[in-house]
Amino acid sequence: MVKIRSKIVLISVIFLFSALLWGQRVSCTLSKTQFSMQEQIQITFTFEDIKNSPRSVDLKLHDAFSVIGGPYSSTNYSWVNGKSTSTNKVSYDIIAKKSGKLLVPAYVFKIKNQVYKTKPIVLMVSKSAKIDALDPSSDMPTMFMETVLDKNTVYQGETFSLNYLLYTAENVVNYTTAPLNTLDGFIVDKFDLSNSPKSSKKVINGKEYLIAGIASLTLTPTQSGEFVLPQKPFRISVKRSGQSRTVFDDPFFGRNTKDINIVAPSDTIMVLPLPSSAGSAFTGAIGEFSMKVSLDSSIIQENQATALHVELTGKGNLEHFAFPEQNFPEGFEVFEPKVKNNFKLKNEDYSGKRSWEYVLIASKPGTFHFDDISFTYFSPENEKFITLRSPVKDLRVISHNELEGDYTSALSPDEVRLLSKDIRFIQMGEGNIFDSSYDPVKDQKNWIIYYIAILFVFFFIVLEIIWKIRMSNMKQIRYKNALKTALNKFQKIIDDQDAELVLLEIEAAFVDYLRDKQLKNNVHADISGIMKTIETYKYAPGMLSHVQLNLLKDQALALIEDIEKI
Nearest in space to 297 (alpha carbons), one of 309, 285, 281: 309
DSSP H or E segment with residue 339: strand 338-345
Residue 412: predicted pLDDT: 47
Secondary structure of residue 306 in the 3-state scheme: strand
Residue 288: predicted pLDDT: 93
Q: Give the residues of the chain that fall short of pLDDT 50.
A: 2, 9, 12-22, 132-137, 243-254, 405-413, 416-417, 419-420, 423-429
Q: What is the DSSP string of 265-298?
A: PPEEEEEEPPPS---TTEEEEEEEEEEEEEES-S
Q: Is the dihedral of CA 93, 95, 101, 105 positive or negative?
A: negative
From residue 360, give the alpha-carbon distance in Å to each of 304, 312, 321.
Answer: 8, 20, 23
In sequence order, the 6+-apart residues with CB closer than 8 A to the CB of 152 are 269, 270
Contact 506, 534 (CB under 8 A): yes
Nearest in space to 225 (alpha carbons), one of 259, 182, 272, 178: 272
Residue 255: predicted pLDDT: 54
Question: CA 239, CA 242: separation in Å to the nearest integer?
Answer: 9
Helix axes 546-565, 527-538, angle to 10 degrees: 160
Q: Is the dihedral of CA 317, 191, 215, 233 positive or negative?
A: positive
Question: CA 566, CA 563: separation in Å to the nearest integer?
Answer: 5
Question: CA 144, CA 138: separation in Å to the nearest integer?
Answer: 15
Q: Is the pTM of this model over 0.85?
A: no
Q: What is the DSSP string of 38-103?
A: T--EEEEEEEES-TT--S------TTTEEEEEEEEEEEEEEEETTEEEEEEEEEEEEEESS-EEEE
Residue 406: predicted pLDDT: 43
Instruction: Write the burial class of residue 378 (CB in 10 Å: 0-12 exposed, 13-18 middle, 19+ buried).
Output: buried
In sequence order, the 6+-apart residues with CB closer than 8 A to the CB of 214 are 164, 165, 166, 175, 193, 194, 197, 234
Residue 286: predicted pLDDT: 93
Question: CA 57, CA 91: separation in Å to the nearest integer?
Answer: 9
Residue 204: predicted pLDDT: 85
Question: CA 519, CA 525: separation in Å to the nearest integer?
Answer: 12
Residue 548: predicted pLDDT: 77
Nearest in space to 412 (alpha carbons), one of 402, 403, 420, 400: 420
Between β-strands 199-204 and 143-149, what pairing exists: parallel, antiparallel or unpaired?
Answer: unpaired
Question: CA 235, CA 261: separation in Å to the nearest integer?
Answer: 5
